């Protein structure tokens, strides 16, 4: 029976299942021009001596320059360098324009703010089908505590560590049929929310404020002038709403003032109070980043944004100009 034709596209998609980091490789061409490109074919070869490899398509315009380069640098990109990755993956532009560079041990460009960098001496080039495989000896390297940018199934992705030792996500038979347990998404979201809000309430108590007052001040810090009805459209989904008595209380505390047409806005004192709340929330966030790591927090934010988008019942956009809503 004749062998089935090899499906190159399916093969490419299958290879995309292997999640990789994203790197930029830089060098100096024989004419002194800096060259660079984005690659996810980077890998380690040896620890002693320290050697790494990466591959480049034979059809690349830079292949001859890299073959003749004495040195090249590998930059493992951090999550905030996605735009830089796109720039170096493109053609026909000055890739190094506005790129922050540092002085390295060779003349090869050394890009700043990466998760890791490897400054290498070009050792040998091997034929690898439609690619050339470059192997280099690592002469120097450095690393920063920046979460790396990754690539999976043809698109950028984020990494998050599995909490094997930190929490137990198994279903323990402590409740009838384990129907309600700590792995329930609603419980996890609710508990994390209320635990953060619990710490904020210490600040509220000092100011005799309720949760609804905090929410209202936060909204009015973004939306400048609102009626009571408009204000409550931003609060209803929280299970809180403001009454006329709440408005009178906030006015008596000098936090809001009434304008024409039954609209309200923050006073100077109200804005300072709201900014104080935001500062407290950011301080709590910084503590969480220190505990979880910037990469995990960034991945968490991305997932929460997706969840909010998918479950949005049609709430007004808090950050959209009021007249556009």
199 with 77, same domain: the answer is no
Q: Which of 26-30, 155-159, 221-225 has the lowest mean pLDDT?
A: 155-159
Q: What is the CATH number of the domain that holds 268?
A: 1.10.10.10
Considering the domain architecture, whether residues 105 and 190 belong to the same structural domain is answered as no
To 10 degrees, the CA torsion angle through 218, 272, 279, 220? 10
pTM score of the predicted model = 0.63
CA–CA distance, 28 with 234 (Å, rounded to integer):
56
- pLDDT-derived band at 175 (thresholds 50, 70, 90) equals very low
The tens digit of pLDDT for each residue in 266-282 reads 999 999 999 988 898 89
Asked if 138 and 19 sit in the same domain, the reply is: yes
Domain of 73?
Answer: 15-157
Q: From residue 3, give the alpha-carbon distance in Å to each of 6, 7, 13.
A: 9, 12, 21
DSSP element (H, E) containing 9: helix 8-15
Q: Is the pLDDT of residue 172 over 60?
A: no
> Which residues make beta-bridge pairs with 278?
none
pLDDT on residue 265? 93
Residues 286 and 210 in one domain: yes
> Is pLDDT of 253 > 90?
yes
219 with 279, same domain: the answer is: yes
């Amino acid at each position: 029976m004749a062998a089935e034709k090899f499906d190159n596209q399916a093969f490419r998609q299958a290879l995309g299942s292997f999640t990789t980091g994203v790197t930029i490789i830089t060098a100096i061409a024989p004419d002194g021009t800096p060259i660079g490109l984005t690659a996810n074919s980077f890998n380690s070869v040896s620890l002693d001596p320290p050697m790494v490899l990466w591959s480049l398509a034979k059809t690349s315009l830079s292949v001859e320059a890299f073959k003749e380069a004495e040195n090249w640098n590998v930059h493992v990109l951090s999550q905030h360098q996605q735009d830089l990755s796109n720039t170096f993956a493109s053609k026909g532009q000055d890739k190094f324009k506005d790129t922050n560079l540092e002085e390295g041990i060779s003349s090869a460009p050394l890009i700043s703010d990466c998760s890791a960098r490897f400054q290498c001496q070009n050792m040998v080039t091997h034929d690898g089908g439609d690619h050339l495989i470059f192997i280099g000896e690592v002469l120097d390297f450095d690393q920063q505590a920046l979460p790396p940018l990754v690539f999976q199934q043809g698109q950028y992705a984020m990494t998050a560590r599995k909490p094997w030792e930190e929490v137990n996500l198994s279903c323990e038979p402590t409740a009838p049929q384990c129907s309600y347990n700590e792995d329930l998404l609603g419980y996890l979201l609710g508990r994390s929310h209320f635990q953060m809000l619990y710490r904020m309430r210490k600040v509220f108590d000092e100011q005799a404020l309720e949760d609804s007052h905090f929410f209202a001040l936060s909204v009015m810090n973004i939306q400048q002038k609102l009626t009571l009805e408009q204000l409550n459209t931003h609060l209803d989904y929280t299970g809180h709403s403001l009454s006329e008595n709440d408005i009178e209380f906030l006015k008596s505390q000098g936090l809001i003032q009434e304008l024409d047409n039954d609209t309200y806005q923050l006073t100077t004192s109200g804005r300072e109070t709201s900014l104080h709340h935001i500062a407290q929330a950011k301080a709590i966030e910084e503590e969480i980043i220190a505990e979880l790591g910037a990469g995990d927090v960034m991945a968490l934010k991305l997932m929460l944004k997706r969840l909010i988008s998918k479950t949005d019942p049609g709430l007004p956009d808090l950050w959209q100009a009021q007249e556009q809503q």
